[in-house]
A and B are shown apart, each in its own frame.
Chain A
Amino acid sequence: MLRFLALLLAALIAVPAFAQSVVQTDNVRAELVSDVATVKPGEPFWVGLHQTIRPKWHTYWKNPGESGLPTEITWTLPAGAKADAIVWPTPALFDIGGITNYGFKDEAMLLVRITPPADLTGPLKIAAEANWLVCEDVCIPEEGKFELTLASGAAATPAPPAVRTLFEAARRRVPMESPWPARYGVAKSGDPTLIIEAKGLKADTIRDVYFFPAEWGAVATMAKQTASVTAEGIRIPLRKGEAKTAMPERLAGTLVLTEKTADGTVKQAFDVSAKLDPAFVPAPVSLAGAASGEPLSLVQALLFALLGGLILNLMPCVFPVLAMKAAAFARLAGQGQSEMRRDGLAYTAGVLASFAAMAAIVVSIRASVGDVAWGFQFQSPVFSLLIAYLFFTVGLNLSGVFDVGGRLAGVGQGLVARGGTTGAFFTGVLAVIVATPCTAPFMAAALGFALSQPAPATVAVLLAMGLGLALPYLALSFTPALQRLMPRPGAWMDRLRQFLAFPMYASAVWMIWVLTQQTGSDGVLYALGGMILIAFAVWLLRLGGGASLGTWLRRGLAAAAVLLAFAATLKLEDGPATAASASGGQTSGVNFEGWERFSRARMAEAVAAGQPVFVDFTAAWCITCLVNERVALETPATKKAFEQAGVVKLKGDWTNRDDEITGVLKEVGRAGVPLYLFWAPGAAAPKILPQVLTEAMILSELSSIQQTKR
């Protein structure tokens, strides 16, 4: 009996090897935990200060914001041991009655890497003194002393499962290294703007972008940041901080954004280190910049939009249309003042009506889908192709291949040519149609504002922009003094018109280039082929008039040619993804290293052969996909486990639309990526893994098939 008691006692004494030091204060339960039970001399391991915070109270991040203090830990370690700096979890933003703080609620695990001495013999004793400020509406500084004694041995042994789970959860909360380069520039006002070069993101899937500066000083703690997501990446206008020193070479911080995925939203955090880019001086008076500092008032927004519209007149695409208008004006010059005015008003009406239509589309799409990004139409290769055709046709007209008065003379052109008021109206419409694609990149920032506003403001801003576009004309038609400056009509008009065909052709070339970005090289084939057909149709129609059989035949043929040209658009709708794949997927940015390209046939074949199959449906613009790859799918441990289990790894790229993948997504009831399917050997159906993966999750899936094998 005594011996039994002695054994029991020995067992109890052995327990402190796992000892966790707990400090319970009024508002925080803090515990020092280690991810190993036994340490190996010289081999680093992790400890964590785990704070369980009283509900509604919070502790602070390394940069606490406008008030507050970060938790500090002072270590007492044996000689030769080393403790690194705290690795912080992703912070949250708190508004304490108008004062902005960065910190944690409910719980926080502060991770620290400890390196024991290489010559360690016997147990390792770690002592720590921590102090933290904990606040609700009341702030209280608290502190605690912690001690942990860990046995040492030839090999490190892991902590009990509950503790390991704690660490795994904590590691998931640590921001990951940003996959994108970042830079920042300083405006003349001193306010910095951060650019995260995440190219190809979709604006409508990214929410709540916030940049937490790592340190006080360079950047102000802002209650709200207004980031914009464009094809170039994420642009975050910031406010300069209180420090009076020069801006740092590198601006560090944590970027937190919420991504909308098929099943809901996923919050992602990245550590960003942005290099100071002296060449980048954010414009002080841009909508994006203005929207950042103080919220832009509607009046200001309208003013900016008007300016933007004016500037549109200088865009090369619009220029030919305006020149046409100028020529028409010159013709009108001889006529009465009222004629001129009516013409100017009709043109303005055409422009405004088009902008109103655009606003209506934007507002209705937003109402049904939730959000819309400018240039949304450019995600559609069909649109790009149609615009290329339009440019080409207008170019042919300007070149004189067919007459302004000709029948079937191109999409708006016939109407444009219908002199007088109607013609002027449709010239306005044409100007807008032509202006939009050419200037989308330029207007992206400005329109970002309009799109983010409630419906009436969106409409107002877009209309103001239209007014800006029409304004020079309107002014001209109402000012006889300006009209007198116009040159007399003459042969120069024809020559100018012919010359202006060339910018139109150039615009068509540009649209075809855009198309290749969306579809790969096949797009060129369809576009140029379609243009030949259009030219052919124009030629047929010019051959002669009358009601003879030949004329009708030619008309039929022309119609067929045009139909065929437009049929190319259907082909495009079918094949963008395959085209992209054929060109090596270079535009998509999805990495296929170590993976086979997904096809249903390949999947079926591998499943039928009884092989385990893992399918990853991803897209270049899907951040969650990217994160999953980094933290779970492409880690050395997962790669090794995949290899050992003989898993067939298939990757489907949904960057562009792909009907095969869309079909699979639909079958499993998903609307988008990420989607992960895992077929265990011989399984009748795949297992759908969660959209946020961890390494442990993949490893446990793989080990379960290993076990069933045995």
Chain B
Amino acid sequence: MSNFSVPRRSLFLGSVALALVPAAAFATSSPDLGKPAPLFTAVDSNGKSWSLADLKGKVVVLETTNHDCPYVRKHYNGKNMQAQQREAAAKGVVWLTTASNATGEQGAVTPAQANDLTRSRDAAPAAVLIDPQSKIARAYGATVTPHMYIIDAKGVLVYKGGIDSIPSSNVADIPKATQYVRVALDEVLAGKPVTQASTQAYGCTMKYPKTST
């Protein structure tokens, strides 16, 4: 009888319940690699307007986020996301974090909340875009958070997929994983084609607006 193990909760359990309810009828079609990336205009958490068209000449990283998602937390708690944001910034890359979960859903944030999160997590994106109608996520066919995209200086989509190669919510897996985005960024900046340009993204299901069916 000693063999019964005590029911144990996972680390995240008590604290986090993630609402991941996109109710929109959503055709998950993502843009093709090697083609011009879908253009978008959005306002960031500081009220500044960003347009992808204006960023021609610069390499851009897109990161979909939901701060309550265990998979997003994995990469922020492990300081992986912040480290890559800083590296990118140092190389002149524009890193845009986009809070694309719909208003009313978990993971949706006000500009103030977004700024608080950036401060408390010591994050360093170029901007946090507030996308309460999931326009950016939809344009890019994002299915999860974090879903990562790289757009080269000519505005061409050159990477889409996961942040790294081990789909888990365990921080300890980060050092063991291939950091797909970091590798791809280095290749893009070196003017080389991206070897692994499309990988399996993992994370929490994107929550699209319920009303926009």
Which residues of A pack against B, CB within 8 Å?
12-13, 15-16, 19, 21-26, 66-69, 96-101, 131, 135, 137-149, 216-217, 221, 223, 242-244
Is B22 an interface residue when CB atoms closer than 8 A count as contact? yes
Q: State whether A98 touches B22 (Cβ < 8 A).
A: yes
Q: Which residues of A contact B39 (CB under 8 A)?
A: none
Q: State whether A21 touches B3 (Cβ < 8 A).
A: yes
Q: A216-B200, A242-B200 are in contact. Are A135 and B13 (CB under 8 A)?
A: no
Among candidates A21, A138, A145, residue contacting B17 with C-beta atoms closer than 8 Å = A138
Q: A15-B1, A139-B204, A243-B198 are in contact. Are A98 and B28 (CB under 8 A)?
A: yes
B27: min CB distance to chain A, Å: 7
Q: State whether B3 touches A98 (Cβ < 8 A).
A: no
Q: State whether A66 touches B143 (Cβ < 8 A).
A: yes
Kindly report which residue of chain A lies nearest to residue B204, judged by CB atoms: A139
Q: State whether A97 touches B22 (Cβ < 8 A).
A: yes
Q: A16-B2, A138-B19 are in contact. Are A99 and B10 (CB under 8 A)?
A: no
* Chain B 9-28 interface mask (CB, 8 Å, partner A; 1/0): 11011001111111111111
Q: Which residues of B contact A243 (CB under 8 A)?
A: 198
Q: A16-B3, A137-B20 are in contact. Are A97 and B198 (CB under 8 A)?
A: no
Q: State whether B20 touches A138 (Cβ < 8 A).
A: yes
Q: State whether B7 touches A23 (Cβ < 8 A).
A: yes
Q: State whether A141 touches B12 (Cβ < 8 A).
A: yes
Kindly report which residue of chain A lies nearest to residue B7, judged by CB atoms: A24
Kindly report which residue of chain A lies nearest to residue B203, judged by CB atoms: A67
Q: State whether A25 touches B7 (Cβ < 8 A).
A: yes
Q: Which residues of A contact B206 (CB under 8 A)?
A: 67, 99
A217 to B196, CA, bound (A): 12
Q: A21-B3, A242-B198 are in contact. Are A143 and B10 (CB under 8 A)?
A: yes
A100 to B208, CA, bound (A): 13
* Chain B 181-206 interface mask (CB, 8 Å, partner A; 1/0): 00000000000000011101011111
A131 to B21, CA, bound (A): 22
Q: State whether B26 touches A217 (Cβ < 8 A).
A: no
Binds A, one of B77-85, B92-100, B125-133, B161-169: B161-169
A22 to B7, CA, bound (A): 7
Q: Which residues of A contact B70 (CB under 8 A)?
A: 140-141
A68 to B2, CA, bound (A): 34
Q: State whether A135 touches B205 (Cβ < 8 A).
A: yes
Kindly report which residue of chain B lies nearest to residue A145, judged by CB atoms: B5
A13 to B2, CA, bound (A): 9
Q: State whether A142 touches B144 (Cβ < 8 A).
A: no
Q: State whether B7 touches A98 (Cβ < 8 A).
A: no
Q: State whether A139 touches B3 (Cβ < 8 A).
A: no
Kindly report which residue of chain B lies nearest to residue A144, judged by CB atoms: B8
Q: Which residues of A contact B24 (CB under 8 A)?
A: 97-98
A73: min CB distance to chain B, Å: 13
Q: State whether B12 touches A135 (Cβ < 8 A).
A: no
Q: Which residues of A contact B156 (CB under 8 A)?
A: none
Q: Which residues of A contact B196 (CB under 8 A)?
A: 244
Q: Which residues of B contact A131 (CB under 8 A)?
A: 10, 168
Q: Which residues of B contact A97 (CB under 8 A)?
A: 21-24, 26, 205, 207-208, 210
* Chain B 131-162 interface mask (CB, 8 Å, partner A; 1/0): 00000000000011000000000000000110
Q: State whether B5 touches A67 (Cβ < 8 A).
A: no
Q: State whether B7 touches A144 (Cβ < 8 A).
A: yes
- A67-B206, A242-B160 known; 18 new pairs, CB 8 Å cut-off, are A19-B3, A21-B4, A23-B7, A66-B28, A66-B144, A69-B202, A96-B21, A98-B25, A99-B26, A99-B28, A137-B19, A138-B21, A139-B20, A140-B10, A142-B13, A144-B5, A242-B30, A244-B33
Q: Which residues of B contact A21 (CB under 8 A)?
A: 3-5
Q: State whether B3 touches A148 (Cβ < 8 A).
A: yes
Q: Which residues of B contact A99 (CB under 8 A)?
A: 22, 26, 28, 143, 205-206
Specify which of A15, A16, A139 lies most central, judged by the most chain B CB atoms within 10 Å of its CB.
A139
A148 to B24, CA, bound (A): 44
Q: A16-B1, A98-B24, A139-B20 are in contact. Are A67 and B143 (CB under 8 A)?
A: yes
Q: State whether A135 touches B7 (Cβ < 8 A).
A: no
A100 to B19, CA, bound (A): 17
A314 to B84, CA, bound (A): 64
Q: Which residues of B contact A138 (CB under 8 A)?
A: 17-21, 106
Query: When A and B form their complex, which 7 residue pairs have the shortest distance between CB atoms, in order from nearest?
Result: A98-B26, A137-B21, A97-B22, A67-B205, A19-B3, A97-B23, A24-B7
Q: Which residues of B contact A100 (CB under 8 A)?
A: 28
Q: State whether B13 touches A139 (Cβ < 8 A).
A: no
Specify which of A24, A96, A99, A243 lies most central, judged by the most chain B CB atoms within 10 Å of its CB.
A99
Q: Which residues of B contact A22 (CB under 8 A)?
A: 4, 7
Q: Which residues of B contact A25 (CB under 8 A)?
A: 7, 9-10, 13
A144 to B160, CA, bound (A): 33
